[in-house]
């Protein structure tokens, strides 16, 4: 007896698709906010550097707001200024990079359902990148927004600083908003 030998079926060309994680697309919307902050920050700093002589002011709102061109070689509010010291500049740049990596990690860990926190972290990311870029490229950050009342002046700041401050404020508010929800199920 002879048995018919059948050949195994020919392999079909299977298309392997690696879909983009569904969360990546939704999370990237927040990165557009970061990019907007970065572009606005860099554009305004460029404009100030191009149009306003260092240490001069342009009054925007009398007795309240001026644009004053200053360089900050330190961190927020001029603390820990490097004053041209390359080692201190690199130290501050490294610390800024470490903070940026932490915020980036936290941004990836936050659930997509927490939109206020994601938006807040996006603001912080955009601002941190803007200031870190300046510090790495020129050893300092251009500040120009000068609020004052009479002779009292707030520390001069920029768009990146504003985004970071607003982002942190939203994060703090979001934390307080969540606190009662998290403890409401506990039994005393």
Three-class DSSP labels, 128-176: HHHHHHHHHHHCCEEEEEEEEECCEECCCECHHHHHHHHHHHHHHHHHH
Quote the percentage of the chain above a pLDDT of 90: 47
- Tell me the average pLDDT of the chain: 81
CA distance 41 to 4: 76
Select the more confidently predicted residue: 163 or 187: 163
Range from 9-13, 40-44, 91-95, 139-143 carrying the lowest mean pLDDT: 9-13
Active site includes 41? no
Is residue 19 situated within a structural domain? Answer: no
Q: How far apart are CA 136 and CA 187, in angstroms?
A: 51
Residue with the two structure tokens 């018919």: 4
Residue 4 lies in a domain: no
**30 assigned to some structural domain:** no
Q: Is residue 32 part of a domain?
A: no
- Domain membership of residue 131 as a residue range: 50-182
Active-site residue (options: 41, 134, 146, 161): 161
| pLDDT tens digit sequence for 35-53 | 999 999 999 999 999 999 9
3-state secondary structure 75-124: CHHHCCCCCCCHHHHHHHHHHHHHHHHHHHHHHHHCCCCCHHHHHHHHHH
Residue 91: Cβ within 10 Å count:
13
Segment 104-132, tens digit of pLDDT: 898 898 999 999 999 999 999 999 999 98
- Say which of 41, 134, 143, 146 is annotated catalytic: 143
Verify whether residue 143 is a known catalytic residue.
yes
CA distance 94 to 35: 21
Element (H, E) at 29: helix 22-51
As a whole number of angstroms, the distance between CA 154 and CA 129 comes to 23
Domain contains 37: no
Q: How many domains does the chain divide into?
A: 1
| 21 secondary structure, DSSP code | P
Determine the pLDDT at residue 18.
46
């Amino acid at each position: 007896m002879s048995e018919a030998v059948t050949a195994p079926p020919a392999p079909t060309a299977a298309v392997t698709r690696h879909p983009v994680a569904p969360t990546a697309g939704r999370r990237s919307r927040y990165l557009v906010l970061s990019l907007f902050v970065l572009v606005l920050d860099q554009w305004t700093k460029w404009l100030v550097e191009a149009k306003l002589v260092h240490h001069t002011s342009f009054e925007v709102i009398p007795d309240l707001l001026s644009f004053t061109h200053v360089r900050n070689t330190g961190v927020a509010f001029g603390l820990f200024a490097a004053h041209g010291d390359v080692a201190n500049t690199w130290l501050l740049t490294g610390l800024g990079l470490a903070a940026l990596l932490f915020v980036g990690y936290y941004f990836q860990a936050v659930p997509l359902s927490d939109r206020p926190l994601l938006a807040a972290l996006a603001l912080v990311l955009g601002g941190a990148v803007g200031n870190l870029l300046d510090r790495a490229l020129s050893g300092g950050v251009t500040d120009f927004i000068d609020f004052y009342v009479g002779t009292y002046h707030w520390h001069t700041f920029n768009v990146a600083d504003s985004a970071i401050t607003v982002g942190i404020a939203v994060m703090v508010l979001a934390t307080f908003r969540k606190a009662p929800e998290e403890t409401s199920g506990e039994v005393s």
